[in-house]
Amino acid sequence: MGTAPNKTAAAAKSSQGFVYLPLIAGWLVPGAGHFVIGKWGRGALLAISIIAMFALGLAMDGKLYSGAQDILDLLGLVGDLGNGLMFLVSRAMGLGGDPIQFTTADYGTKFVVVAGLLNVIAAVDAHNLRTGRKS
Amino acid sequence: MLRPSHYTAVLLFAVFASTVFGITQRDTPRRMVRYGLYCFVLFAGSAIVLSWVMFLIAR
């Protein structure tokens, strides 16, 4: 009974503005989705974790997927695209190793892909907070 | 170029993935910390256990 006014308030709040803004902002820039809705602490931790993971992946000479020659490349590209602007800017700057020559470069490639997948999870979380599905 | 050992890479991976899992999969700060630590222990622990299993299989 005590939650009814809260749900009404959350529903009213969720109907204001563009509800997909945190989702899109969170995808483009890690943590930005949480910043948009005022969750500064969570956003900062998410941003640090995802950006650090992406940067470490590049520092290990990880590969940035640029095309989809086969199904595994396609899956890697989808994961990389989850990084949003970081991936697009890094590709435009020509960062990332080409062929994988060291074991650590393979780790780096996985770091970059997983950073993208974690960023998608974080952006969806920001969307859920915005719509009132999560508190 | 950064060249960490396999286990250092596992620990780095576990720290960042556990942080994101903790924040996104739980509602309250206390539960976020607990779930994050739980995920970290599972990541790091499973790497140790699987390493020993592979070592024993390879002997």
3-state SS of A13-79 is HHCCCCCCHHHHHHHHCCCHHHHHCCCHHHHHHHHHHHHHHHHHHHHCCCECCCCCCCHHHHHHHHH
pTM attached to this predicted model: 0.89
pLDDT at B42 over 60: yes
CA proximity to B6, closest of A63, A76, A34, A108: A108
Q: What is the pLDDT of residue A43?
A: 97
Q: What is the ipTM of this complex?
A: 0.92
CA proximity to B28, closest of A120, A26, A134, A47: A134
**Nearest neighbour of A59 by CB, restricted to B2, B15, B21:** B2
Asked whether the beta carbons of residue B24 and residue A114 sit closer than 8 angstroms, the reply is no
Cα–Cα distance between A11 and A130 in angstroms, integer?
Answer: 10
Q: What is the pLDDT of residue A66?
A: 86
- A125-B45-A58-A104 Cα dihedral, nearest 10 degrees: -160
Cα–Cα distance between B47 and A119 in angstroms, integer?
Answer: 24
Q: Which residues of A touch B1 (CB under 8 A)?
A: 59-61, 102, 104
Q: Is residue A25 very low, low, confident or very high in pLDDT (cuts 50, 70, 90)? A: very high
Asked whether the beta carbons of residue A56 and residue B20 sit closer than 8 angstroms, the reply is no
Choice between B53 and A69, residue whose per-residue pLDDT is larger: B53
Long-range contacts of B19-24 (CB under 8 A, 24+ apart): B19/A45, B19/A46, B19/A49, B20/A46, B20/A49, B20/A50, B20/A118, B20/A121, B20/A122, B21/A121, B23/A42, B23/A45, B23/A46, B23/A122, B23/A125, B24/A46, B24/A121, B24/A122, B24/A124, B24/A125
CA proximity to B51, closest of B10, B1, B3, B19: B10
Stretch B26-53: mean pLDDT: 96
Stretch A112-123: mean pLDDT: 97
Asked whether the beta carbons of residue A50 and residue B9 sit closer than 8 angstroms, the reply is no
